[in-house]
């Protein structure tokens, strides 16, 4: 038996199937394996006795000795679970069909079809509450290792946006285009990872595919695309490659939080999602640092080569050691193994049955239409999307403004300008150090006591909403050459603190308010903020040159002041607003 970490990783799963199930075997592949908890059957047996128990029958899989018949034949009755006689109404209530994306996308006829198939199937589940293959039961060390890998994956892709920015002037000169045209390489990358989740993230929800397969294959394409990008001879070749690279790298940015939710219990998710957000912010922040020294020491192509080496190393590491985390995918694979060794085609997982009855229209509604419906008809979604998109846009305009402030005014070179971003990085780390104890001491007990309501996410947004405009005014009016460069860098640390708090409060609040439609809500938010974030760098240099850094930052700070009441209003009236909605829970 191979270590479960490698066995459930992409390479282990591939070798398992390629070797005809001889390498990286699972418990079900072993001769004499006993199913600890047999698959439950909805159909009651014809003969019953009052002495029948609900979970009495166990199946032992005996593997034949002859090589030709490696798959055993086991009588289907051996895995039957006898259930007490119940009325049709009781059986319907007990075994209702699983909902598609926990909503009502399927029509009533389709739901009845799912119910019928479940009634004729044997549902494969976890082998009891302590099943070691259930990601929620993994050890703390394994959960922490998986969390590190999700953060590494997110950082390796997110850094691809801003690492490009120090080379913009050199690209413009080499290709004979304007700096604004060269900036499109940054813009299209952000657009790509804003659009990508609408198409790629749904694949990770399919039990037949799972999260790991989507991560690895999309990351492999991301890595390969860096080679022609670095070798591009004109802007017409460079820009499409940057867009496709952003598109290919997008699953990590949109689904990483879902992977962490697969592994951690709700009371711990605030902390691990917060840590994941640190990795997400670190990418755009540290990108200019690496890109600045690379461009200064060599040329702009080295920003892409560094991205290739970093993402390539991450690809190898995750291919070997990143296990599948989706419970739906793991149970589907277990059901497939049990069907093979028992030759009982009725053995299925609930997720498998659910997906079999989804149409292309259902998937399109879920991931392409519904995000926009929620964006326009739900006030909570609309306001938070606008607020977080504004913050995201300011983050990217901040990245571009550093060249004006520290290179043009303070005389920094490209490498030193990258070091100026460490203020944002330090502010994020310090804020997380304060946020984690708050989440454990304040939010965790509410989950444990079952007294948590979504509005409890918002108090940290009160602080963030105040820090954001303060930092903008501070940065803008202390950016002149007469003021020491450390002063605006300190202001940038307060900006990152406010940004971090607003992201943590806003995204978690949306997920808590719309748990039945969380995929649609977060996909729409990712799309909306990416479009805004992509547009801001295009006018940033002219914006700061024409108005001056102080007035320009004052305008951004003024907009942040206008948005400041949103978390306060939702904290007081959010429950009432949710009560009016047919989508909110």
Q: Give pLDDT, residue 52.
A: 34
537 or 60, which is more confident: 537
34 forms beta bridges with 60
Query: For 13-17, 394-398, 468-472, which range has the lowest pLDDT when averaged over its residues?
Result: 394-398
Radius of gyration of the chain (CA): 27
Q: What is the mean pLDDT of residues 38-59?
A: 42
368 or 566, which is more confident: 566
Q: What is the mean pLDDT of residues 292-312?
A: 89
Q: What is the mean pLDDT of residues 46-74?
A: 36
Which of 211-215, 395-399, 448-452 is predicted most confidently? 211-215
- Structure tokens that stand for 512 in this block: 């808590």
pLDDT grade for 101, boundaries at 50, 70 and 90: very low
Round to whole Å and give the CA distance between 99 and 103.
6
Q: Give pLDDT, residue 408.
A: 87
Q: What is the mean pLDDT of residues 152-179?
A: 89
Parallel/antiparallel/unpaired status of strands 122-123 and 40-41 = antiparallel
- 289 neighbors 418 (Cβ within 8 angstroms): yes
Q: Give pLDDT, residue 128.
A: 83
Full DSSP string of 238-296: HHHHHHHHHHHHHHHHHHHHHHHHHHS-HHHHHHHHHHHHHHHHHHHHHHHHHHHHHHH
Round to whole Å and give the CA distance between 3 and 556.
53
104 Cβ contact partners less than 8 Å away, ≥ 6 residues apart: none
Whether 308 shows a pLDDT value over 90: the answer reads: yes
Residue 482 is classified by DSSP as T
Scanning the structure block, which residue is given the tokens 């499109």? 184
- 377 neighbors 121 (Cβ within 8 angstroms): no
Whether 305 shows a pLDDT value over 90: the answer reads: yes
pLDDT grade for 62, boundaries at 50, 70 and 90: very low
Residue 57 is classified by DSSP as -
Whether 563 shows a pLDDT value over 50: the answer reads: yes
Whether 3 shows a pLDDT value over 60: the answer reads: yes
Whether 82 shows a pLDDT value over 70: the answer reads: no
pLDDT grade for 119, boundaries at 50, 70 and 90: low
Integer angstrom CA distances of residue 578 from 35, 376, 513, 552, 553:
44, 15, 7, 37, 35
For the chain, the average pLDDT equals 81
Q: Is 485 exposed, middle or buried (0-12, 13-18, 19+ CB in 10 A)?
A: middle
Q: Give pLDDT, residue 79.
A: 40
Q: Give pLDDT, residue 344.
A: 81
pTM metric for this prediction: 0.81
284 Cβ contact partners less than 8 Å away, ≥ 6 residues apart: 158, 159, 161, 162, 395, 396, 399
What torsion, rounded to 10 degrees, do the Cα atoms 325, 329, 333, 339 define? 150
HSE toward the beta carbon, residue 224, CA cutoff 13 A = 8
| Domains identified in the chain and CATH numbers | 1-33 (no CATH), 146-325 (1.20.1250.20), 327-356 (no CATH), 359-585 (1.20.1250.20)
Round to whole Å and give the CA distance between 452 and 112.
34
Round to whole Å and give the CA distance between 135 and 211.
13
Give the residue from 108, 242, 219 showing the smallest Cα distance to 153. Answer: 219
Q: Give pLDDT, residue 114.
A: 56
Q: What is the mean pLDDT of residues 357-384?
A: 80
Query: For 95-99, 266-270, 450-454, which range has the lowest pLDDT when averaged over its residues?
Result: 95-99
pLDDT grade for 359, boundaries at 50, 70 and 90: confident
- 2 neighbors 23 (Cβ within 8 angstroms): yes
Which of 35-39, 321-325, 521-525 is predicted most confidently? 321-325
């Amino acid at each position: 038996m191979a270590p479960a970490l490698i066995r459930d990783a992409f390479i282990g799963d591939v070798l398992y199937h390629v070797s005809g199930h001889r390498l990286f075997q699972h418990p079900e592949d072993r001769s004499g394996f006993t199913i600890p908890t047999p698959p439950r059957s909805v159909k009651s047996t014809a003969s019953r006795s009052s002495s029948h128990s609900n979970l009495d029958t166990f199946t032992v899989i005996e593997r034949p000795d002859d090589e030709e018949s490696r798959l055993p034949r086991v009588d289907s009755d051996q895995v039957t679970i006898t259930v007490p006689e119940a009325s049709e109404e009781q059986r319907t209530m007990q075994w209702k069909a699983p909902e598609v994306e926990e909503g009502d996308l399927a029509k009533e006829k389709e739901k009845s079809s799912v119910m019928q198939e479940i009634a004729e199937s044997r549902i494969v589940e976890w082998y009891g509450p302590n099943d070691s293959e259930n990601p929620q039961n993994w050890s703390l060390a394994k959960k922490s290792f998986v969390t590190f890998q999700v953060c590494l994956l997110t950082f390796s892709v997110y850094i691809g946006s801003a690492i490009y920015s120090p080379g913009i002037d050199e690209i413009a000169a080499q290709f004979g285009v304007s700096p604004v045209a060269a900036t499109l390489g940054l813009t299209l990358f952000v657009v790509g990872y804003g659009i990508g989740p609408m198409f790629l993230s749904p694949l990770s929800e399919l039990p037949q595919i799972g999260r790991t397969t989507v991560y690895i294959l999309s990351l492999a394409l991301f890595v390969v695309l860096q080679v022609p990008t670095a070798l591009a001879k004109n802007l017409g070749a460079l820009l499409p490659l940057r867009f496709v690279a952003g598109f290919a790298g997008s699953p990590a940015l949109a689904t990483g939080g879902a992977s962490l939710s697969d592994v951690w219990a709700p009371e711990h998710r605030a902390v691990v999602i917060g840590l994941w957000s640190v990795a997400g912010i670190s990418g755009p922040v540290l990108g200019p640092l690496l890109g600045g020294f690379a461009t200064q020491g060599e040329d702009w192509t080295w920003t892409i080569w560094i991205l290739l080496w970093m993402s390539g190393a991450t690809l190898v590491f995750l291919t070997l050691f990143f296990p599948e985390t989706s419970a739906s995918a793991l149970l589907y694979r277990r059901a497939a193994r049990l069907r093979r060794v028992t030759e009982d085609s009725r053995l299925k997982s609930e997720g498998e049955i659910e997906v079999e009855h989804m149409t292309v229209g259902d998937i399109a509604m879920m991931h392409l239409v519904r995000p926009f419906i929620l964006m326009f008809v739900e006030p909570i979604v609309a306001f938070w999307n606008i607020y977080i998109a504004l913050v995201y846009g300011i983050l990217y305009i901040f990245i571009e403004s550093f060249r004006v402030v520290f290179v043009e005014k303070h005389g920094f070179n490209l490498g030193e300008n990258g070091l100026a971003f460490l203020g944002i990085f330090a502010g994020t780390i310090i804020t997380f150090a304060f946020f984690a104890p708050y989440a454990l001491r304040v939010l965790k007990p509410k989950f444990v006591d079952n007294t948590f309501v979504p509005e409890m996410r918002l108090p940290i947004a009160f602080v963030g909403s105040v820090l954001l405009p303060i930092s903008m005014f501070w940065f803008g009016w202390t950016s002149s050459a007469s003021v020491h460069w450390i002063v605006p860098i300190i202001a940038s640390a307060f900006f990152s603190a406010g940004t971090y708090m607003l992201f943590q409060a806003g995204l978690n609040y949306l997920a808590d308010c719309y748990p039945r439609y969380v995929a649609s809500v977060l996909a729409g938010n990712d799309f909306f903020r990416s479009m805004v974030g992509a547009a801001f760098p295009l006018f940033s240099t002219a914006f700061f040159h024409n108005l001056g850094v102080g007035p320009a930052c004052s305008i951004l700070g003024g907009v942040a002041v206008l948005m400041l009441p949103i978390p306060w209003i939702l904290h007081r009236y959010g429950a009432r607003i949710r009560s009016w909605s047919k989508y909110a829970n």
